[in-house]
Each structure stands twice: as C-alpha cells, then as structure tokens.
Amino acid sequence: MEALKKRILAEGQNLGKGILKVDSFINHQIDTHLMYEVGQALARRFSDVGATKVVTAEISGIAPALATAYALNVPIVYARKTRPITMTGPVFVEVAPSHTKGRDVFLMISAEFLRPEDRVLIVDDFLASGATLMALVRLVEHAGAALVGIGAAIEKRCEGGREALAALDVPIVSLAVITDMSDGQIVLS
C-alpha cells in the first residue's frame, strides 16, 4: 500500500533494536484517513474468507483492526491487557512478550465475545516476531473458533514472524514490508 509506505519513510523512526516508531500516524496519534485506507485494503484481501469477527490486541492494533472490521461489516474484539471488573464470566488468557514494553503482557478475551462458531480474522499494527499474533491465535483456539487469516499494516520481515506463523496454513497479508532496519535505516520491499 503506497500511502502507508510513504508515511513510514517520511515519518517512521528507526530507534534501534528493531523498534520502529510510527507514533505520528498509528501508535499514538492516528491518521484516520490512512487507517480507513488500511482497513479497506485488508478487507479487500480477506473478502472471501468469511470472517465473522476481527480480533486484535489492545491498544495499537485497534485502529487497523477497527477499520478492517468496519469495511467487512463485522464486529471487532480486542484482547485486553488488564481485566476490568465488568469482565465477569469465563476468560481466555495468553501471555505475549511486548517488544516495546520490554516485558510479558497478558492478553485476555471474554468467552462471551469469542465463540466456537466464529470465523476469526486477526489484524494487528505489526507483524514482527509473530509472538503477539501467536498469542492471539491461541486465544482463538481456546474459544474453539476458526482462524481464517492474519493481516498486519506493517511487517518487519527481518524478524521472522511470517515463518513462525506459516504452519497455521491461513492467508497472511501485510500492507508494507520492511526488509532491513540495520544501521538506522528503514528499507521497504
């Protein structure tokens, strides 16, 4: 997706150690027009998988997942990192390492909103090592739901996440692929 690639090159900052700062349009301030385009692009790529829900992780995945779910006309469910008092029933819980926080985080989804009959498309802001996405996959599996695809706005191909997810045998789509972040650079394919 050319608009996303242009924004990454113009505003993205390589902070080293695999961290790409895109706070000006995805991770802190959200460019709603760009996220709408991201959602439309992902929805086109997954229009034939029969998704009934889009699942993501709190908080950075919400913008691209919401836009995709809106375009597909299905609900979005986001895995929370803390359990609110309103989450009273059974809960599916997984642990995922957070690259930006430097520690593990818990991801949880209420069984009320993820059911065995659901066909789930996972959408996140990044596909990097695949660890967060695999935690979301495990949440889908705990619910007995069917995983029908994985989409990401940005993929850091150099971190090997695509290979880690390949055994899932579902379509994996990234809209902007970074192939190299060494020496402070950002190289897109």
The string of pLDDT tens digits covering residues 74-97 is: 999 999 998 899 998 999 999 998
Sequence ranges of the domains in the chain: 2-188
Give the residue with greater pLDDT, 133 vs 99: 133
CA-closest candidate to residue 30, choices 62, 6, 76 = 62
Fold of the domain spanning 2-188: Rossmann fold (3.40.50)
Question: Is it the case that residue 101 has pLDDT exceeding 80?
Answer: no
Give the amino acid at 19.
I
**Angle between helix 2-11 and helix 32-45 axes, rounded to 10 deg:** 140
Question: Is it the case that residue 98 has pLDDT exceeding 90?
Answer: no
pLDDT attached to residue 165: 97
C-alpha angle 178-184-189 in degrees, rounded to nearest 5: 20
Task: Give 99's pLDDT tier (boundaries 50, 70, 90).
Answer: confident
Task: Give 157's pLDDT tier (boundaries 50, 70, 90).
Answer: very high
